[in-house]
Amino acid sequence: MKRVIVVGNGMVGYKFCEKFVAKSERENYELLVFGEEPRPAYDRVHLSEYFSGKTANDLSLATMNWYESNGIILKTSELISEINPKNKQVITYRNQVYEYDYLVLATGSSAFVPPIKGVDKKGVFVYRTIEDLEAIKSYALKIKQQGSTEAAVLGGGLLGLEAAKAVKDLGLKTHVVEFAPRLMPRQLDEGASNMLQQTIEGFDLGVHLGKQTNLIAGNGAIESMEFSDGTSLKTDILVISAGIRPRDELAVAAGLKVGHRGGVEVNNRMQTSDGYIYAIGEVALYNNGIYGLVAPGYEMAEVAVEHILGGNKLMSEEIDMSTQLKLIGTEVASFGDPFIENDEVVAIVYENKLSGIYKRINVSKDKTRLLGGILVGDSSDYNTLFQLYINCMKLPENPEDLILGSRGKGGSALGSVLDLPDTAQICSCESVSKRAICCSITEGDCSSLKDVIKETKATTGCGGCKPMVVDLVNETLKSLGQEIKETICEHFAFNRQELYDLIKINKIKNYDEALNMFGKGDGCEICKPVLASVFAGIYMETANKQVTIQDSNDRFLANIQRNGTYSVVPRVPGGEITPQQLMAIGRVAEKYDLYTKITGGQRIDLFGAQLHELPLIWKELMEVGLESGHAYAKSLRTVKSCVGSTWCRYGMHESVSFAIKIENRYKGLRSPHKLKGGVSGCIRECAEARGKDFGIIAVEGGWNLYVCGNGGATPKHAILLAEQLDEETCIKYLDRFLMYYIKTAAPLMRTAPWLEKLDGGIEYLKKVIIEDSLGIAHDLETEMQGLVNKYECEWKQAIEDPEIMKRFRHFVNSDDTDDTIEFVSMREQKMPRPW
């Protein structure tokens, strides 16, 4: 039996094992894997999530049992110290000798540490492994207990920004220090980098560009970074994430050919200069390049497996470095050549500083080819753009529509996903083509998305391809004549819209009745909140009515925070509040020792309330006319307003009064997802109305009504529905729009994706809402008025009902309070003690 030895058990080393055991030819081979870390392979791509609650087990790619059950011998905490190519042997640091027939180097890379004086001081770390993160976490906790809170990350590239997010999550004031004049200089142009910097600084991270660090100063431990321009930065901990260096020291000592800047040279079969030794992943130098993404590493692993077992698969000549990721709360993506500039290329750029969005695509001058691009702030179009680029597909007549707002017109720049060529790579992490996905259904045994994922492993890497995989599966099943039905869960064979109609027609009043009549089993935590939303949308039922089917926040009419306390958000319609109400909020915050913050929606958030304190707080707030702001609910949150013509010299109409009127009309209105509105007194748009689910902007002759925008993870601008409306007509159209959305949207679907899924897009919506093409306008208005008339404040219900009040106790059998909750001070207020 031949023996294959793999040195390194990171993500690429593990992928080699996975590909190897899937081959029938492996029966004549023994696989022996050495990993120098104390645990099996784990997901290094999502390493920063270790700071946000994930454990080492959560990040694990496979258990020890997996290796054993697949006949793989895995030796963890084992360092290979020498390779002897002549005798085909590897030697461990314990001087144990193992012979091989084939050797695979998957040693990856190490963090590059610049030669800075003082870099060996206490408090300086690299960001590479779980052990590194544990050390950073432990040191951060120690310095915080001593009152130190300043942190710095050296490196403003992809890894540096990941590290900065992780350090900030530890509760430290974090700074990013970068030698280059912009962030992510290898992936982003100046405009995109500036937008990313603006967004990052909005998260209270300091950004210091063009800084060369000459000295890490401090007496034993780091105290500051000294720069070549004479400036300095005080910091109590430094995390270095300034790039990587291939772990090629074994190869160098063994006499294998390496590049002059490092990396083991390999051919298109992943063979090194010794034909029995292979190199894959970040240690491999292929076509004079080192590739730090998982997709090329996984392809290298597959090629090496194929060649060792007698196959003939070759590595791609061109390595695509396109990538889509989320950094510090903002989406970033690039594909193709994002920087190309010559006479044959036209760059189309869209920039929105208000929403933090920057998009650039590079198009051939004849408008036929997409050559590359950059997306910051909104990468929802990445999959479409990447397929157009990688498959050299024909562009639409107006290429600018790809990024400048064809949304709402219906259809896609790709047409149907089935129009993609069979060779189109849908999942780059696992190298899964369109043909592989479709054939798993048409020629295989797959009949659902779950089956396809299990068979092909598509979406199991970064997950960015999942929307396109879902569309491919659905379209393929439809092409076979199968009905594709999106049911809410296994207990109800209906979608939300069908359940809405069934409950309304049959006058069903509670969950158990609905389950008995239309469902099966006992229900679950997916269908219960959906049904709660449906009952609220039909009967204006508050969350107090059927408490057992509500989400946890709705159950307690407040947002639960990370230490088990709650936040209280009174409604402040239009942002207008009386001095009496302001003083009452201040008194409550002082009395119950609450952290206070002005929200982005013109309200005041009170954090840190214990469960038993909620009714007491609500009672005091209601005494001055304040009521629930429904910040915890899938319902109307706020209608933001500027001061309008009441105070502003530019104001065209009285936006505050109109905003208050609208917020009071729809307060308590439950919907498939949260709703936000805005009313601006002029086109200067200080209320940011076009970033909301509905936005109203004052113009000459009335109000313009915009719909289906939202902020969040995938921000979208609202689209004009109607213009120059009087207040009465504007509210009439809003009634129709909101009621139609409530009746037809899927669970947890905001208005922007709802519009994108609507056949015909905005033009169809105009016909329904304005022209009454379906003949339901009167019904929609009547239903909305019925809901408006039934409004009740949930807080008031709670404090007036003894049965409801029983919910607000920490223990069912005692009146004791929770004495395990801990806080620490922060800027003269408090915050939960970090985990």
Question: Alpha carbon of 176 to those of 143, 179, 205: distances in Å?
Answer: 19, 10, 7
Total residue length of the chain:
835
**Helix crossing, 527-539 with 511-518: angle to 10°?**
110
Would the CA dihedral through 213, 219, 223, 229 be positive or negative? Answer: negative
What is the largest distance, in Å, between two alpha-carbon atoms of the chain?
Answer: 89
Q: Which residues are paired to 258 by β-bridges?
A: 264
CA–CA gap between residue 308 and residue 316 (Å, rounded): 18
* SS3 annotation, 582-612: HHHHHHHHHHCCCEEEECCCCCEEEEEECHH
The sheet with strand 330-336 has its strands ordered as 323-327, 330-336, 370-376, 357-364, 345-352
Which tokens sit at 301? 């692993």
CA 14 to chain centre: 25
438 annotated among ligand-binding-site residues:
no
Which tokens sit at 523? 């229900």
Which tokens sit at 67? 């290796």
- Structural contact between residues 446 and 440, judged by C-beta atoms closer than 8 angstroms: yes
CA–CA gap between residue 96 and residue 94 (Å, rounded): 5
**Neighbour tally for 314: CB within 10 Å:** 13
Phi, psi of 755 (to 5 degrees): -65, -40
**H helices of 179-248, where?**
190-202
524 annotated among ligand-binding-site residues:
no
**H helices of 714-750, where?**
727-744
For strand 425-427 and strand 432-433, is the pairing parallel, antiparallel, or unpaired? antiparallel
Which H or E run includes 475? Answer: helix 466-479
Q: Taking the chain, what is the end-to-end CA distance rounded to the nearest angstrom?
A: 50
Q: Which residues are paired to 238 by β-bridges?
A: 124, 152
Q: Which residues are paired to 17 by β-bridges?
A: none
Write the single-letter amino acid at 513: E
Phi, psi of 10 (to 5 degrees): -85, -160
Would the CA dihedral through 413, 416, 417, 421 be positive or negative? Answer: negative
For 422, counting Cβ atoms within 10 Å of its Cβ (0-12 exposed, 13-18 middle, 19+ buried), the class is exposed
CA 151 to chain centre: 25
- Structural contact between residues 209 and 201, judged by C-beta atoms closer than 8 angstroms: no
CA–CA gap between residue 521 and residue 38 (Å, rounded): 44
Q: Could you give the dihedral angle defined by the CA atoms of residues 764, 770, 775 and 780, in that order, rounded to the nearest 10 degrees?
A: 100
Which tokens sit at 292? 């730090």
Taking alpha carbons only, the member of 133, 150, 138, 153 closest to residue 49 is: 133
686 annotated among ligand-binding-site residues:
yes
Q: Which residues are paired to 372 by β-bridges?
A: 336, 362
648 annotated among ligand-binding-site residues:
yes
CA–CA gap between residue 643 and residue 635 (Å, rounded): 25
Annotated binding site: 642, 648, 682, 686
Annotated binding site for [4Fe-4S] cluster: 642, 648, 682, 686
Annotated binding site for siroheme: 686
